[in-house]
Structure 1
Amino acid sequence: MCHPSCVEYFFWEAFVVNTVNVALIGLGTIGTGVARILSEYADRITDAVGSRVVLAKVCDKDLSRERDITLPAEMLTDDFERILDDPSISIVIELIGGLEPARTMVLRSLQNGKNVITANKALLAQHGAELFDTAKKHGVTIAFEAAVCGGIPILGTLATSLQANRFQSIHAIVNGTSNFILSQMDEAGTNYQDAVNEARRLGFAEADPTMDVDGTDAVQKLAILARIAFGVRVDWKTIPRTGIEAIEAIDFRYARELGYKIKLLAVAASTATGLELHVSPTLVRETNPLARVDNAFNAVRVTGDCVGPVFFQGLGAGRMPTASAVLGDLIATVLGRTAITFKALELWEENRNGIAVKDPREVRGKSFLRMRAVDKPGVLHEISGVFGRHGISIASMIQHAGENRATGEHQEVKTPVSLILTTHDAREGDMRHAIDELERLDCVYGKIVRIGLLD
């Protein structure tokens, strides 16, 4: 009589037709999550693809660092060449981030006939064309769902499920760090620096969060979204961006008075004169679903000509959400779905839909402006005159009286007042010129804070 384990063995062999060897480069936060799923939940992957997917090699520059996962010693290496030289490895997962040595490792993997999966949005935004050309030349693929919005399957949805649409717009919260900081400032009333420190303490921000708070991370992701949805190849460094560093706690008070929340939005919008692309803090109407996306969550609102508005929300970063996206790419690559999509979409080709990126100066939009001005007769007339000369119509104006900073009591001799203005649609170029002129006025103190406005 055959032992039960023999039955299990023959059952396994009958249905598992081959073994797929995978190499992982980078055993940091995300890499550890991927290794954990591949090691502890291998049966899930096998059930999904019908092949035995094996984590064959893990490469990291520092194997001595303590981690909360134990892997066999023979699996670990700090020598990338051992992955390149192993013909049995057909898929390489790159999770080290940054431009180099990631670019070189990905290029050499592709040149050696290995499919690549990456979560590296900076690499794709900077070198996407080179990498995709190399992949096509060598008959392999690149999968990158985890590069944008972590666990939200937005790229695959845009590329496949919604492919019948002509996309009209994308409005997205794509950076969890900045969204957490803004949420803290709004809900807890903390100042910017305290909110940054809290984000660091909880692991939502790096020691140096510059690329998150100044909009760099968001524009790199927007460049990828625009590539998939609108077929444009755009240098992410040319996309206008404004970070959240100038936002103050008082801005949230004024936003609430007007019925808005403040979010860092990445926007791509198709217009009759071209594709608008920009990243900036934006007042979002409280009734808009994007306004209710708080803390480290990401969200994407896509509008297509057939499907209408569609909303996606989820964790945009973190070990397991991002690892989930990486494993989704792995399954798609093993099953051959990535190869079909990769060939059909002609990713990173020259602009495939014939749409041009609009001159940022011609983009039109509404604005919220906060400035400090002298409280005396004629000042409002002088300020409104500047807007009038630049063809900008003021929608509303709120004046907050000067207060004694020590007691909060109103004084007979006023300190500078805060003026809160909102505008109707205006050209970006006109708005910039108007702000430059306003900041040169003797009656206006310091820099003017400007935030976009989305109803």
Structure 2
Amino acid sequence: MAAPLRVGLIGMGNVGAGVARILMEHGPRMEQRTGRPIQLIRAAVRDVHKPRDYTPPAGMLTDDALSLVRSPDLDVVIELIGGLRPARELVLEALQAGKHVVTANKALLCEHGPELFAAAREAGKAIAFEAAVAGGIPIIHVLGAAMTANQVIEIRAILNGTSNFILTEMFQKGTPYDDVVREAQALGYAEADPSMDVKGTDAAQKLSLLAHLAFGTRATPSDFIVQGIDGIEPMDFKYASSLGYRIKLLATAKLVDGRLEMHVQPTLIHRENPIAQTEGPFNIVALDGDNVGRTVYSGRGAGQLPTASSVLADLVDVAVGRAQLTFPRLELWHDAPQFPLQPIDEIRRRYYLRFLVLDKPHVMADITDILGRNQISLASVIQPESPEVEGGGGPPTVPLIIMTHRCREGQLRRAGEELRKLSCLLGEWKCLAVSD
């Protein structure tokens, strides 16, 4: 029998409690599959007296995380506290103390990945992070191992289950945005402050990690377009559906003429596409490889047990030595040529434009003149019939929906500056990308 793998856990929140429970209750099953006992030795928490859904054996909890990562009786540290500090310092200490690290912290890796990976290489240890992206979907393994015979050409994905749940409820039930956010919070899908999810930040951090693995390009969310779902209104679902589309928070990274195009935005996707059909708190990742073609992976992207499952998969890889073999292969990317990012203004695609306008003469001419002068061609126009106004009442307000042909982001932005000056437009107008 091989020597036990001794584990220290930092963080006993929702996911941490799931990890601890599985390790303590299903240790024999994991030992049977790895040929090596995996033992949870110690867990660090902020308050050892706080009531928890799962209470580990007496004496296992400590409030001294630094002492835990430095402890000589541990082989691997699982970091599940999230955020940048003190997570960065604790991970660095664990590596310097000769321990492998398993983490679900996409923000930490997105911000400090190069520093942490360099420290792991120097220490001869591995950082495993399957749970950092797409919950229970093993997408890191796919990119790091299964797709190594391919150059990935494109990634298109739903990477945030909270936003997908909100968009699904708004579309299927017509529930207002604020009400759905409260429902998501009550169900445990959204935090008390849901901004990381609904603003697109969470999905953008995950896309950054996937792009690094697939293309060798280091890009943070500040380097590409990131747009959230908080401005989507019920009428947008109605008109998108009438055109044959669903609205999803789509994360995209794809090669275009040797440059990497990246963006995370609410996007119209044709309703027959599997991505458009992904509903509720589920994630989906579609990969195009130059040899294998398209492969698609879907499953729960968040939640206690799906995420804990990925954490434990990494732990098993450490126990049998796969993580130690895979991590250096992943890190070959740090020496590989990077694909430069496509300038944002050069991104080409179609767009959905929705305006609220005064129904009076010359409004359509004013809008189409601005679009035409910026070389934006119209594919279709929808304007519902407005009621006739008797007497001296002012002109009614009507929605105007325009689908464009492919154009550059820079052209659309220049047109937008002119459109905002039109007095016939009421309130904020909506612009959403369309995925072909």
| TM-score calculated relative to the size of structure 1 | 0.93
> Counterpart in 2 of 1:340?
325
Alignment of 1:286-297 (within 5 A): 286-297=271-282
Alignment of 1:250-269 (within 5 A): 250-269=235-254
User: Which of 143, 147, 163 in structure 1 is aligned with 2:148?
Assistant: 163
User: Which of 26, 31, 51 in structure 2 is aligned with 1:66?
Assistant: 51
Conservation of the 8 A alpha-carbon contact between 2:70 and 2:94: no
Matched, 1:115 2:100: yes
Alignment of 1:285-434 (within 5 A): 285-346=270-331, 349=334, 352-402=336-386, 411-412=389-390, 414-434=395-415
Q: 1:373 Cα shift?
A: 1.4
Conservation of the 8 A alpha-carbon contact between 2:370 and 2:415: yes
Q: 1:347 Cα shift?
A: 5.7
Conservation of the 8 A alpha-carbon contact between 1:204 and 1:296: yes
Of 222-231 and 370-379, the range deviating more from structure 2: 370-379
The 3-state SS of whatever aligns with 1:100 is coil
> Counterpart in 2 of 1:13?
none
Residues 213-268 of structure 1: per-residue CA shift (max 9 Å, x gap): 01111110000010111111112322211111110011111011001110000000
Q: 1:348 Cα shift?
A: 6.3
Matched, 1:42 2:27: yes
Mark the CA change 1:203 to 1:354 in structure 2 (over 3 Å): closer, same or farther: closer
Of 46-55 and 373-382, the range deviating more from structure 2: 373-382
RMSD after superposition: 1.3
The 3-state SS of whatever aligns with 2:253 is strand
Letter of the 1:355 counterpart:
F
The 3-state SS of whatever aligns with 1:382 is helix
> Counterpart in 2 of 1:281?
266
The 3-state SS of whatever aligns with 2:47 is coil
The gaps in structure 2 that reach 5 residues or longer are: none
Letter of the 1:53 counterpart:
I
The 3-state SS of whatever aligns with 2:426 is strand
Letter of the 1:208 counterpart:
D
Mark the CA change 1:376 to 1:84 in structure 2 (over 3 Å): closer, same or farther: closer
Residues 162-198 of structure 1: per-residue CA shift (max 9 Å, x gap): 1111111111000011111101100110111111111
- Structure 2: how far apart are the matches of 1:418 and 1:99? 44
Conservation of the 8 A alpha-carbon contact between 2:120 and 2:127: yes
Conservation of the 8 A alpha-carbon contact between 1:150 and 1:315: yes
- Structure 1: how far apart are the matches of 2:57 and 2:183? 37
Aligned length: 433
| TM-score calculated relative to the size of structure 2 | 0.97
Conservation of the 8 A alpha-carbon contact between 1:151 and 1:325: yes
Letter of the 2:278 counterpart:
V
> Counterpart in 2 of 1:5?
none
Q: 1:212 Cα shift?
A: 0.5
Which of the two has higher C-alpha Rg? Answer: 1
User: Which of 73, 82, 92 in structure 1 is aligned with 2:77?
Assistant: 92
Of 149-158 and 233-242, the range deviating more from structure 2: 233-242
The 3-state SS of whatever aligns with 2:427 is strand
The 3-state SS of whatever aligns with 1:298 is strand
> Counterpart in 2 of 1:19?
4
Conservation of the 8 A alpha-carbon contact between 2:359 and 2:398: yes
> Counterpart in 2 of 1:438?
419
- Structure 2: how far apart are the matches of 1:431 and 1:347? 39
Mark the CA change 1:204 to 1:411 in structure 2 (over 3 Å): closer, same or farther: farther
Conservation of the 8 A alpha-carbon contact between 1:439 and 1:446: no
Residues 303-340 of structure 1: per-residue CA shift (max 9 Å, x gap): 11111111111000000000000000001111111111
Conservation of the 8 A alpha-carbon contact between 2:11 and 2:80: yes
- Structure 1: how far apart are the matches of 2:338 and 2:210? 17
Conservation of the 8 A alpha-carbon contact between 1:228 and 1:347: no
Matched, 1:134 2:119: yes
- Structure 1: how far apart are the matches of 2:198 and 2:73? 42
Q: 1:65 Cα shift?
A: 1.5
Aligned residues: percent identity?
A: 47
Of 80-89 and 291-300, the range deviating more from structure 2: 80-89
Letter of the 1:423 counterpart:
T
The 3-state SS of whatever aligns with 1:447 is coil
Letter of the 1:447 counterpart:
E
Conservation of the 8 A alpha-carbon contact between 2:8 and 2:69: no
